[in-house]
């Protein structure tokens, strides 16, 4: 296990390197020059050259990359083109609203999806099952922005019981009740995206386990169905939950762009859209790398979880 973890970490380093090169090249190959932000029309050519030199833009690209990445690794992520604040501070402010929204959405999604998946499996091929399966299709097919707008239209505009967006009512900051009211609609949108896969996976897994020989044995030796369900079926069929978490967790940073944008949620997603619109490259590079690193870490954690949960999985051979 220990060697496996080390091996995984070693593999992650070149992947991280290419991710950072990708982000750097992406932003530097685009039309426009970061120096444009500092250049005014009345500057002479010599002054422009001087500005470029002071920003380090006259040096070869790989040296610029090396400079940027060594700064990045020491926590100096540069400054926003927009308000000249350190990128690290801006991202830091936006991180916790996103994490709050996403973790709550995952929680709501799983708490509803797991029972629904089990019910669908136990009532296989009945109307209930068909309804739940249909529901998952509806969830994965509903455009998140359309769902968000429809919910705002119904609950904020027509019924006027929930706010249209933001994180708090001006003047009523820090109220827990206020925060919850603002969370309801975005959490519904995100949770509906997350729940479908979990429902299908749990359903398939429960059905699969119920066909196993040890379940037949338990039935044959006369255990009652409730006991079999709780002790044999569920315990074994919930292992694949990790698989679904493995596909959901990587989205925790970069997965809520649209939902945050619609509900004006002050997180990483709406920051991305704002940075794109204002061509704020330092922020964009930081977000791209941050979200990619989050994916790597999530995948890493999931692999370890697998090994811990299912002792049959052996790594590092």
Partner 1 sequence: MDPKKFVLIHHDGTLSSSGLSAVTGIAADKEVDSADSWGKITWRRFCQNKAAVYSLVIFLIIICIAILAPVISPFDPAQSVGAFDEAPSAGHLLGTDDVGRDVLSRLIYGSQVSLIVGVGSVVIYAVVGITLGLLSGYFGGAIDSLIMRITEVFMSYPQFMIILVIVSLIGPNMMTVMLVMGFMGWPPICRLVRGEVLRVKSLDYVAAAVVTGYSPLSIVFKHILPNVLSPILVNCTFGIAQAILIEASLSFLGMGVQPPASSWGNMLTSAQSIMILSEEPWRWIPPGVAILVAVLTINFLGDGLNEAINGDSK
Q: Which residues bind partner 1 (CB under 8 A)?
A: 11, 14-15, 18-19, 22, 26-27, 30, 124-125, 134, 137-138, 140-146, 149-150, 152-153, 157-158, 164, 193, 197, 200-201, 203-205, 207, 243-244, 247, 250-251, 253-255, 257-258, 261-262, 272-273, 276-277, 284, 287-288, 291-292, 294-296, 299
Report the alpha-carbon distance of residue 236 to residue 224 in Å, rounded.
Answer: 17
CA distances for 1 relative to 4, 204, 308, angstroms? 5, 30, 10
Tell me how far, at minimum, the Cβ of 215 lies from partner 1, in Å.
17
Report the alpha-carbon distance of residue 72 to residue 63 in Å, rounded.
Answer: 14
Contact 111, 198 (CB under 8 A): no
Report the alpha-carbon distance of residue 207 to residue 28 in Å, rounded.
Answer: 51
Tell me how far, at minimum, the Cβ of 124 lies from partner 1, in Å.
6
Give whichever of 128 and 299 is closer to partner 1, judged by the CB atom. Answer: 299
Give whichever of 167 and 283 is closer to partner 1, judged by the CB atom. Answer: 283
Per DSSP, the three-state class of 249 is coil
Total Cβ atoms within 10 A of residue 230: 10
Tell me how far, at minimum, the Cβ of 188 lies from partner 1, in Å.
15
Give whichever of 218 and 298 is closer to partner 1, judged by the CB atom. Answer: 298
CA distances for 109 relative to 3, 194, 198, 199, angstroms? 35, 6, 8, 9
Tell me how far, at minimum, the Cβ of 40 lies from partner 1, in Å.
25
Per-residue tokens: 89: 């501070």
Per DSSP, the three-state class of 86 is strand
Per-residue tokens: 183: 């969370």
Give whichever of 21 and 53 is closer to partner 1, judged by the CB atom. Answer: 21
E-assigned strands of the chain?
Answer: none
Q: Is 125 left (phi over 0), alpha (psi -120 to 50) or beta?
A: left
Report the alpha-carbon distance of residue 242 to residue 231 in Å, rounded.
Answer: 19
Give whichever of 9 and 273 is closer to partner 1, judged by the CB atom. Answer: 273
Per-residue tokens: 256: 């809520």
Tell me how far, at minimum, the Cβ of 142 lies from partner 1, in Å.
6
Give whichever of 186 and 250 is closer to partner 1, judged by the CB atom. Answer: 250
Give whichever of 22 and 56 is closer to partner 1, judged by the CB atom. Answer: 22
Tell me how far, at minimum, the Cβ of 97 lies from partner 1, in Å.
16
Tell me how far, at minimum, the Cβ of 309 lies from partner 1, in Å.
17
**Residue written as tokens 């794109």?**
276
Contact 265, 97 (CB under 8 A): yes
């Amino acid at each position: 296990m220990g060697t496996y973890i080390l091996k995984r970490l070693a593999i992650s380093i070149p992947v991280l390197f290419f991710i950072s090169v990708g982000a750097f090249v992406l932003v530097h190959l685009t039309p426009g020059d970061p120096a444009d932000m500092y250049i005014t029309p009345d500057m002479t050519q010599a002054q422009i050259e001087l500005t470029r030199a002071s920003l380090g833009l006259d040096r070869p690209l790989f040296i610029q990359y090396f400079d940027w990445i060594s700064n990045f690794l020491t926590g100096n992520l540069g400054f926003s083109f927009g308000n000249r604040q350190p990128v690290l501070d801006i991202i830091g402010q936006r991180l916790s609203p996103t994490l709050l929204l996403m973790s709550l959405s995952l929680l709501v999604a799983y708490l509803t999806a797991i029972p629904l998946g089990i019910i669908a499996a136990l009532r296989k091929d009945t109307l209930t099952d068909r309804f739940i399966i249909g529901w998952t299709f509806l969830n994965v097919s509903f455009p998140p922005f359309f769902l968000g707008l429809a919910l705002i239209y119904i609950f904020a505009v027509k019924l006027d019981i929930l706010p249209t967006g933001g994180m708090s009512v001006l003047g009523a900051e820090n109220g827990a009740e206020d925060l919850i009211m603002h969370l309801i609609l975005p959490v519904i949108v995100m949770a509906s995206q997350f729940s479908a896969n979990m429902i299908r996976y749990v359903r398939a897994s429960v059905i699969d386990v119920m066909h196993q020989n040890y379940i037949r044995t338990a039935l044959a030796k006369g255990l009652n169905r409730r006991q079999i369900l709780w002790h044999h079926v569920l315990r074994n069929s919930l292992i694949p939950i990790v698989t679904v978490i493995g596909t959901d967790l990587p989205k925790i940073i970069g997965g809520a762009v649209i939902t945050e944008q619609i509900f004006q949620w002050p997180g990483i997603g709406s920051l991305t859209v704002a940075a794109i619109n204002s061509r704020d490259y330092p922020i964009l590079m930081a977000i791209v790398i941050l979200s990619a690193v989050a994916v790597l870490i999530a995948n890493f954690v999931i692999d370890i979880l697998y090994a811990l949960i299912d002792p049959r999985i052996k790594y590092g051979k």
